[in-house]
Amino acid sequence: MGWLIRLVSAVAMVVASPALADSWLPPEPKIYLSPDKATRLTVVPRDLENQLAYFSDKVDGKEPAGQRHSGETRALGIVERRSGAAWIKVWEAPLVNEVAPVSALIADGGGHVVTFDNWHSTGFGDNVVVIYRGDGSLVRAMKLTDILPENYVRALPTSVSSMWWSGEHVLSRDGRQVVLKVVVPNGGGSIGSSRGFVDVTIDLATGMVAPLTGPAWDRAMAAAAPLVARSKAEEAIWRARFIAPLAPPTGTKEFDWNRYLYQAVKRLAPIGAQRGFDLVWILPAPGTPEFAERAKDIREVITGWDEKSDLAFASPSAPEALARVLTESANATSAGRLAGSRLFVALPPA
């Protein structure tokens, strides 16, 4: 449907933030060798139908998102040891990641496996660093704030889906620790540019993080401090705007009305009770080139949309026309078509 493409573009403009765009390739099986090359870990991702199905299911709250019918329903880890020219399986077990980890390390002999991040979401979630024993059992799964101070995490650069927090992690020479290469925050540059790294060590047997002390760590915290202060100031401004009375725009600019409706729905709908992807429609004035197309879009969503959603409508240039289009659309659709959805209509009292 053409209206869906136009809708996605409009919502992207309304909710846009300074976060940078990023892209991800579909998850694929990967093999990781131990330092001595005698042991290997194979990571097999959960089977996805495709990326579009995954994102669509996420929007609709369907889990497991994007799952391929009859495909593997869990990410798997397979550890094998070399025996001559052959590889002998040591263990095979599900991994805690939703789809797959982004990268991994395996110690000599397979005594421990460490995975990092989640596909399409680095730095976020409960599985940013996960440690497994030599039999595949879990030592510890950690979110980033289990490893780093919350304020430090706040200073790290983010993109649309992820947080850039790390470089190439390594195992200690004795294979008993993982040394994380953590990004040093920097107010300049972009994701992928060199900011430098600071080491954070985690014991593989216990999952305990070593104390964050020393000159290198002090410098990293000092680099984060001004970024944290700026972030908190920006958040305070945003919160003040959000709790201030919400008034409709005085003009007819579509962007202003899109933002107004988006914020109005978020305020009027109970917290946690949103219906998924919000559909926002602004009907322009009759006689403009876009009027007929937008009126057709509204009729299509009223008569053909079958997902439970929050639907919001306004027409600052032609409120009477909007009322007419909504009435005609409602009369043309079948009973119960929008059951479970909520409609938010901005019209003057008349």
pLDDT in tens, 290-338: 999 999 999 999 998 877 888 999 999 999 999 999 999 999 998 888 8
Taking residues 22-43, what's their average pLDDT? 92
Instruction: Report yes or no on 246 lying in a domain.
Output: no
Q: Is residue 258 part of a domain?
A: yes
User: Residues 165, 270: one domain?
Assistant: no
Whether 321 is in a domain gets the answer yes
Tell me the pLDDT band of 201, cut-offs 50, 70 and 90: very high
Q: Tell me, what's the pLDDT at 28?
A: 93
Instruction: Give domain status of residue 16, yes or no.
Output: no
pLDDT at residue 11 is higher than 50: no
- Asked if 99 and 219 sit in the same domain, the reply is yes
Output the six-digit token pair for 216.
Answer: 């290198």
Residues 266 and 156 in one domain: no
Mean pLDDT of the residues in the chain: 87
Same domain, yes or no: 182 and 329 = no
Mean pLDDT, range 230-258, rounded to an integer? 89
Enter the tokens of residue 346. 């901005």
- Last residue of some domain: 227, 244, 275? 227
In the chain, the number of structural domains is 2
Asked if 140 and 274 sit in the same domain, the reply is no
**Within-domain flag for 242:** no
Same domain, 193 and 265: no
Domain hosting residue 309, numbered range: 254-346
Q: Which H or E element spans position 59?
A: helix 51-60
Whether residues 268 and 179 share a domain: the answer is no
Judgement on whether residues 172 and 308 belong to the same structural domain of the protein: no
In a domain, 236, yes or no: no
Q: Are residues 200 and 314 in the same domain?
A: no
Q: pTM above 0.85? A: no
Pairwise CA distance, residues 292 & 40, whole Å: 61
Same domain, 122 and 209: yes
Band (pLDDT 50/70/90 cuts) for residue 113 is: very high
97 and 205 in a single domain? The answer is: yes
Burial 306-319 (b: 16+ CB within 10 A, else e): eeebbbbbbbbbbb
Q: Are residues 221 and 298 in the same domain?
A: no
